[in-house]
Amino acid sequence: MAKYNSIILPTLLAVWLITFLPSRASRNQNGDSYVRDACSVTRYRDLCIRSLSPFSNTAKHNPSRWARAGVSVALAEAKRVARYLATLKRNKDGGRIRGRNRIAVSDCVECFEDTLDNLHRSLYVLRKLSVREFGSQVDDVVTWVSAALTDEDTCLDGFDEEKGGKRVKPLINRVSNVTYMTSNALALINKLATAGPECLKNG
Ligand SMILES: *[C@@H]1O[C@H](CO)[C@@H](O)[C@H](O)[C@H]1NC(C)=O
């Protein structure tokens, strides 16, 4: 008996693994394919897939959920960067950022206030989309998210990377990151606009 068990148990285990694992793998692959499909319209695709994959299984093929997810991750990151900029500005030695770059930090704090306003408003409207008002709602959101992107670009333009050296580089990277996420959100909103109000009917 013991001799048989040593064969049967591993065999059962192998059968169980073969039947169970592929189904899990294909489930993950499905989740993956939703986010890949959604992000195919974006410019910064890797960042899109990385930041939006947690929404894959709820958003599936729903363009309005993807647009909302895009704006909400851009907003979350913009909030973090805005807090960081505000801390730098308040800091007595300004994180040892000088001259033109120090002024840029101050200007960025204001630009980011506008950015946050515009992204907040957009998210609010995206949560209340209706078939009847779809056209004007989506137009508004496109306008606001574009304005958010412009403000972020204005912030970036203020920096002089060559004079800032290693203190300014990480700042530029973080702000750039927000512009990429906002650009991705805008692409997802444009996809929603193309899909039209019919896409609201299935959830
Ligand atoms: C960009 O944002 C993502 C998401 O919040 C974050 O994980 C990543 O560290 C950021 N990269 C930079 C360079 O700030």
The pLDDT assigned to 16 comes to 52
Contact partners, residue 139, CB within 8 Å, separation at least 6: none
CA-to-CA distance for 139 and 15, rounded, in angstroms?
55
Cα 19 to ligand 1 centroid, rounded to whole Å: 38
Judged against a pLDDT cut of 50, whether residue 23 lies above it is answered with no
The matching CATH number, chosen from 1.20.140.40, 3.40.50.80, 1.10.645.10, 2.40.30.40, for 9-202 is 1.20.140.40
Q: How far is the CA of 40 from the centre of ligand 1 (A)?
A: 20
Ligand 1, CB within 6 Å, residue ranges = 51, 77, 173-174, 177
- State which of 66-70, 99-103, 166-170 shows the largest mean pLDDT: 66-70
Which atom of ligand 1 has the smallest separation from the CA of 170? 13
Q: Buried (b) or exposed (e) across 10-39, using 16+ Cβ within 10 A?
A: eeeeeeeeeeeeeeeeeeeeebeebbbebb
Q: How confident is the model at residue 26 (pLDDT cuts 50, 70, 90)?
A: very low
Beta carbons of 144 and 118 less than 8 angstroms apart? yes
Q: Which atom of ligand 1 is nearest to the CA of 51?
A: 4
pTM value is 0.84
What does the mean pLDDT of the chain come to? 88
User: Residue 27 Cα, ligand 1 centroid: separation in angstroms?
Assistant: 27
